[in-house]
């Protein structure tokens, strides 16, 4: 899959897209096992937040799950050539009202595995034509291809934050 061009996404997604390897589907497959392994290795830190008013590790995982669902839904809509503008979402409200802080950590990990598996089924069945379709999300143009890269890049971004701010003393 070729990389998306700048006109295929809002500028605020550039960092996510730039962080992803060219073989995005392989990267997404690898994340399907690497993130759960990282989380399971750090179960003792599930309720840790690196500062006041910051998300716990459980909430961060929940955020990654919620965002993947939103992005996969956008990918579904765009890949079906649906031109209906898609709204944004407030990630902080999603976390605040999610209940992830009190969730069972292992069940959250399993939820990620299922959501990622579903996302992979969607991605692996898209044609080049479907990846080229464009829609609008959060008021900006978006292509199917860009959404695939955003899915991989968003998770990669948060794994970097986890390693730097949540897990630093054990690495």
**3-state DSSP of the chain:** CCCCCHHHCCHHHHHHHHCCCCCHHHHHHHHHHHHHHHHHCCHHHCCCCCCCCCCCHHHHHHHHHHHHHHHHHHHHHHHCCCCCCECCCCHHHHHHCCCHHHCCHHHHHHHHHHHHHHHHHHHHCCCHHHHHCEEEECCEEEEHHHHHHHHHHHHHHHHHHHHHHHCHHHC
Q: Is the pLDDT of residue 169 over 80?
A: no
92 vs 98: CA distance, rounded Å: 10
Residue at 72 is within a domain: yes
Q: Is the pLDDT of residue 171 over 70?
A: no
78 vs 87: CA distance, rounded Å: 13
Residue at 138 is within a domain: yes
Can you state the angle between helices 57-79 and 105-124, rounded to 10 degrees? 20
Domain assignment of residue 166, given as a range: 6-170
pLDDT tens for 84-134 read 999 999 999 999 999 999 999 999 999 999 999 999 999 999 999 999 999
pLDDT tens for 15-70 read 999 999 999 999 999 999 999 999 999 999 999 999 999 999 999 999 999 999 99
Residue at 81 is within a domain: yes
pLDDT of residue 167: 87
Residue at 151 is within a domain: yes
pLDDT band at 170 (very low <50, low <70, confident <90, very high): very low
| CATH (domain of 28) | 1.20.120.450
Tally of structural domains, the chain: 1
pLDDT tens for 60-83 read 999 999 999 999 999 999 999 999
pLDDT of residue 56: 96
Residue at 1 is within a domain: no
């Amino acid at each position: 899959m070729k990389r998306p061009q700048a006109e295929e996404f809002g500028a605020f997604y550039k960092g996510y897209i730039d962080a992803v390897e060219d073989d995005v589907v392989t990267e997404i497959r690898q994340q399907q096992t690497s993130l759960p392994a990282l989380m399971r290795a750090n179960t003792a830190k599930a309720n840790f937040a690196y500062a006041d008013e910051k998300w716990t590790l459980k909430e961060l995982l929940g955020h990654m799950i919620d965002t993947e669902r939103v992005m996969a839904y956008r990918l579904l809509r765009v890949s079906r050539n649906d031109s209906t503008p898609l709204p944004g979402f407030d990630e902080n409200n999603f976390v605040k009202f999610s209940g992830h802080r009190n969730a069972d950590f292992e069940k959250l990990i399993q939820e990620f595995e299922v959501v990622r598996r579903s996302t992979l089924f969607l991605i692996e069945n898209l044609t080049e034509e479907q990846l080229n379709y464009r829609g609008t999300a959060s008021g900006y143009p978006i292509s199917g291809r860009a959404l695939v890269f955003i899915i991989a890049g968003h998770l990669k971004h948060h794994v970097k934050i986890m390693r730097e701010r949540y897990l630093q003393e054990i690495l």
